[in-house]
Structure 1
Amino acid sequence: MTTPATGRTGAAPRVRRGVIDVHAHWLPEELFGLPPGSPVPPLNARGGELHLGDVPLSIAASAMSDPARVLAETDRAGLGARVLSAPPFAFPVVADPGVAEYVGRFNEALTRLCRDSDGRLLGLGLVSLHDPAAARDEMKAIAASAVVRGVAVPPLVGATSFDEGPLHEVARVAAELGLAVLVHPMQLPRPEWGSYYLANLVGNPTETATAIASCVLGGLTERLPSLRICFVHGGGCAPALLGRWRHGWERRADVAAGTGRTPDEGFRDLWFDTLTHDGPALRLLRSKADPDRLLCGSDHPFDMGVDRPQDLPVAEGIGAGALEAAARRFLDLPEPGSDDHA
């Protein structure tokens, strides 16, 4: 039965009680070849360790692909449930005739895994970023699923973000269908970030801040008020830049051309995970964001992730109950009932 408020056609699943980690990654081994036309080399497992081409990722291959291990590590982390999405190098960022098949295979495998998890796993699917008609069909199929609650996308596609182009169209359809959107950076290479893992340590927060700027200065949530869109890694460096954006919006016509709302107002429409690795950074995020839109995120199983993602926000005064409630709203899940798992 269609839900009038959101357009979803799939019934909400029964999800185990407890903190929900909205930011974790999974990819079945049969899709390690990555999408057709991928700009990065395929994944492979050597001696049980995951490699991207010849580059070791310091991740056990089974941690990325084995359902039993994913479930065991979800339980070990003390979580109620975990939301799985593809690792960013599996995003189909290049137009290729084979992308739709890859997306379909991933979404089908993700659905099976989550459906068989006894309320411990949910999913965010892939979408064909360069084919609007295919993307709409894929997102309609996701809206009919109980266990796949939205889509995961990169912050940039070519030279565009959420104010125009493919990502804006994905956001528009997601808002129409009531799907959650999770935005994960791709660690795009740049020569000046070639050492010290700076493509991740500096590049990821910068990619995310660029996408957030496109949302708040482009008036995305003003145009799509029902959109639920989450930025991981605590919003990257965006919380520290809001004052600068506000000053530019007040002083420059080109900065203010996209919206009549201040960057601060637009920022409070967005959702963020709490994976900041630092208490003061989380306090800054909390002071700028809507505190009811902060979500638990682990980045499991990457080396920049954490084993118990709830510990930092709880230590900073964001209760486990608040984290669970926020995730349920983001994922359009009902409040837990008496028949849910304890």
Structure 2
Amino acid sequence: MYDFHTHFIPSDVMSWLKDHKNRIHAEWVPKEQKEDFLVINGKWGFELKKEFINFDLYKQKQEHVGVGHSMLSPIPQLFLYEFPEEITTEMSRVYNHSLAQLAIDDHENFSALGTVPLAYPEKAAEILNEAVGQGLKGAIIGPGIGEHMLSDPFFQPFFEEANRLHAILFIHPLLCEEPRLKRRMMPNLIGVPWETTVTATDLLLSGLIDQYPNVKILFAHGGGFLPYQIGRLDKGYEQWDLVSSKLQAPPSQYLKRFWYDTVLWNEDSVNHLVKVVGEDRVVAGSDYPFDLSVWPPKQINSTGALSLLE
């Protein structure tokens, strides 16, 4: 069984965080009956569970539930996109080198994705090249930078390099700052998949995948709400030039050219996703070890995993 959506923090990264805590405003906040929460720059703190930082424990947990191969990814809280280029680049290099070593040391059981300074696309392209050269499969990236959507020309240098490298780009949302969601954990419950929905819809309608056909785009959390609403996009394609002008086929056909994980917590939802996009485009994922992980990961035919890794 594969697990394409997991997160880990190697020891070198933890050391870097502690050494540079003042530069990035890092705090370790004690919580009753829980591990300390790590807060970077005053936002989006998370419980620093032992499984995030103890690789032996992480491996034991994966083996216990029958996961034979995991894709290790950096955690979104450590993308550090809001910091100056030198800080984000430095963190990316430390994180990527550490994950590459873990994957090299046990390549049968682990692959890994890196992180890049996405706010600086030319530097991000350079770091992606380095990461793939070290053996990483690509990068995990957020849904954009500020008002820049991933389809914007701003990111062209990065996507050109990803296309040249045939890299995986795992699109992972960041917490939504929509004012109406600031209650009842809605930023995480529906804000996270909403971010994925917006990004995935924009990438699909932009025709970017025709421009960069070698980039392997994987969407977290089953693609958000997009697979469920694809009929609405197809209807818009029939009605409006603004929807169809950059596409060579209806949106439902483009939907089948991306990959999606199974982090949906509902078997009927996973089955619907497979029916809409095809089993060769769906990969098992857990979001382990975050609180809302699907644990153990939903077992699924490995066709999608093999097509993504080839």
Same fold (TM over 0.5): yes
SS in 2 for 1:230: strand
CA distance in 2 between counterparts of 1:169 and 1:220 reads 13
> Where does residue 187 of structure 1 map in the other structure?
175
Bigger drift between 206-215 and 135-144 goes to 135-144
Q: Answer whether contact 1:37 1:94 (CA < 8 A) is retained.
A: no
> Where does residue 129 of structure 1 map in the other structure?
118
In the TM superposition, what is the alpha-carbon distance from 1:62 to its structure 2 partner? Answer: 1.7
Q: Given the superposition, is the C-alpha separation of residues 260 and 58 from structure 1 closer, same or farther in structure 2, using an over 3 Å criterion?
A: closer
In the TM superposition, what is the alpha-carbon distance from 1:261 to its structure 2 partner? Answer: 2.1
Which of 131, 139, 143 is 2:132 aligned to? 143
Post-superposition Cα deviations, 1:63-116, rounded to whole Å, max 9, x if no partner, equal 111111111112112111111111111123225132211111111111122222
CA distance in 1 between counterparts of 2:235 and 2:273 reads 19
In the TM superposition, what is the alpha-carbon distance from 1:287 to its structure 2 partner? Answer: 2.1
CA distance in 2 between counterparts of 1:88 and 1:35 reads 17
Q: Which amino acid aligns with 1:291?
A: E
> Where does residue 49 of structure 1 map in the other structure?
35
Q: Given the superposition, is the C-alpha separation of residues 141 and 99 from structure 1 closer, same or farther in structure 2, using an over 3 Å criterion?
A: same
Q: Which amino acid aligns with 1:115?
A: I
In the TM superposition, what is the alpha-carbon distance from 1:270 to its structure 2 partner? Answer: 0.5
CA distance in 1 between counterparts of 2:207 and 2:148 reads 15
> Where does residue 337 of structure 1 map in the other structure?
none
CA distance in 2 between counterparts of 1:171 and 1:100 reads 18
SS in 2 for 1:83: strand
Q: Given the superposition, is the C-alpha separation of residues 32 and 70 from structure 1 closer, same or farther in structure 2, using an over 3 Å criterion?
A: farther
> Where does residue 13 of structure 1 map in the other structure?
none
Post-superposition Cα deviations, 1:163-186, rounded to whole Å, max 9, x if no partner, equal 214555433321211211111111
> Where does residue 7 of structure 2 map in the other structure?
25
> Where does residue 112 of structure 1 map in the other structure?
101
For the aligned residues, what is the CA RMSD? 2.5
SS in 2 for 1:195: coil
In the TM superposition, what is the alpha-carbon distance from 1:137 to its structure 2 partner? Answer: 1.9
Runs (4+) off by over 6 Å? 33-38, 54-58
In the TM superposition, what is the alpha-carbon distance from 1:45 to its structure 2 partner? Answer: 6.3
SS in 1 for 2:137: strand
Aligned-pair identity in percent equals 24
CA distance in 2 between counterparts of 1:183 and 1:56 reads 18
Superposed, 1:295-334 pairs within 5 Å as: 295-310=283-298, 314=299, 318=300, 322-323=301-302, 325-332=303-310
Superposed, 1:215-226 pairs within 5 Å as: 215-226=203-214
> Where does residue 80 of structure 1 map in the other structure?
68
In the TM superposition, what is the alpha-carbon distance from 1:118 to its structure 2 partner? Answer: 5.5
Q: Which amino acid aligns with 1:44?
A: W
**Structure 1, gaps ≥5 residues long:** 1-18, 333-342
CA distance in 2 between counterparts of 1:326 and 1:182 reads 14
> Where does residue 231 of structure 1 map in the other structure?
219
CA distance in 2 between counterparts of 1:56 and 1:235 reads 22
Structure with bigger helix share is 2
CA distance in 2 between counterparts of 1:70 and 1:204 reads 24
Q: Given the superposition, is the C-alpha separation of residues 131 and 156 from structure 1 closer, same or farther in structure 2, using an over 3 Å criterion?
A: closer
Post-superposition Cα deviations, 1:40-77, rounded to whole Å, max 9, x if no partner, equal x6353647614143889674532111111111112112
TM-score, length-normalised on structure 2?
Answer: 0.88
Q: Answer whether contact 1:130 1:166 (CA < 8 A) is retained.
A: no
**Structure 2, gaps ≥5 residues long:** none
In the TM superposition, what is the alpha-carbon distance from 1:279 to its structure 2 partner? Answer: 1.9
Q: Answer whether contact 1:44 1:51 (CA < 8 A) is retained.
A: yes
Post-superposition Cα deviations, 1:178-228, rounded to whole Å, max 9, x if no partner, equal 211111111122221111110011111110011111121001211122221
Q: Given the superposition, is the C-alpha separation of residues 204 and 36 from structure 1 closer, same or farther in structure 2, using an over 3 Å criterion?
A: farther
SS in 1 for 2:106: coil
Q: Answer whether contact 1:36 1:99 (CA < 8 A) is retained.
A: no
Q: Answer whether contact 1:132 1:169 (CA < 8 A) is retained.
A: yes
> Where does residue 160 of structure 1 map in the other structure?
148
CA distance in 2 between counterparts of 1:190 and 1:32 reads 29
SS in 1 for 2:149: coil
Q: Which amino acid aligns with 2:131?
A: I
CA distance in 1 between counterparts of 2:88 and 2:21 reads 6
In the TM superposition, what is the alpha-carbon distance from 1:302 to its structure 2 partner? Answer: 0.5
